[in-house]
């Protein structure tokens, strides 16, 4: 059986969180026949330039944080470009996950900075459900 590949977009600006997210993706690749092509955008301005302005670029899964160190929001992403069943809100602020869900995002995982291991476990499980 051949391997499957997916394109995954991560909208996240926190390096520590990215370390955990990348570890999750490495675990999935190591334990499945899924190869993951990862794109990481670190701020909302790049999200608007690279994603919103290029609707022909397609991603299978979106990991969506909210706050951005530039003072804006990753929620500026055009969600109509994504299958909302394959978008996971990953904010550390529960209210921001709720805001994403009010925009049609189906999945949310609270990124508790006091327990990023638990966040990682939940994220891995959710990504595996989606793929």
Report the alpha-carbon angle 70-88-110, nearest 5.
Answer: 75
Task: List the chain pLDDT tens, one digit each, 131 residues.
Answer: 468 999 999 999 999 999 999 999 999 999 999 999 999 999 888 999 999 999 999 999 999 998 666 666 676 899 999 999 999 999 998 998 999 999 999 999 999 999 999 999 999 999 999 99
Question: Residue 125 sits in a domain of what CATH number?
Answer: 3.40.50.2300
Neighbours of 123 (CB within 10 A): 23
> What's the pLDDT at 1?
46
Give the chain's domain count: 1
- Per the CB < 8 A criterion, the answer to whether 71 and 43 are in contact is no
Between the alpha carbon of residue 77 and those of residues 24, 29, 32, 115, the distances in Å are 23, 27, 30, 27
> What's the pLDDT at 22?
98
Domain containing residue 94? 4-130
> What's the pLDDT at 44?
84
């Amino acid at each position: 059986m051949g391997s499957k590949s997916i394109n995954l977009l991560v909208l996240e600006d926190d390096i520590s969180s990215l370390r955990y997210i990348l570890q999750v993706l490495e675990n999935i690749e190591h334990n499945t026949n899924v190869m993951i092509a990862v794109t990481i955008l670190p701020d909302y301005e790049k999200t608007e330039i690279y994603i919103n302005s290029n609707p022909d670029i397609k991603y299978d899964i979106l990991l969506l944080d909210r706050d951005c160190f530039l003072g804006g929001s990753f929620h500026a992403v055009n969600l109509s470009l994504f299958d909302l069943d394959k978008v996971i809100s990953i904010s550390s602020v529960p209210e921001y996950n709720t805001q994403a869900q009010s925009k049609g995002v189906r999945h949310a995982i609270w990124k508790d900075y006091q327990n990023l291991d638990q966040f990682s476990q939940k994220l891995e499980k959710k990504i595996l459900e989606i793929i």
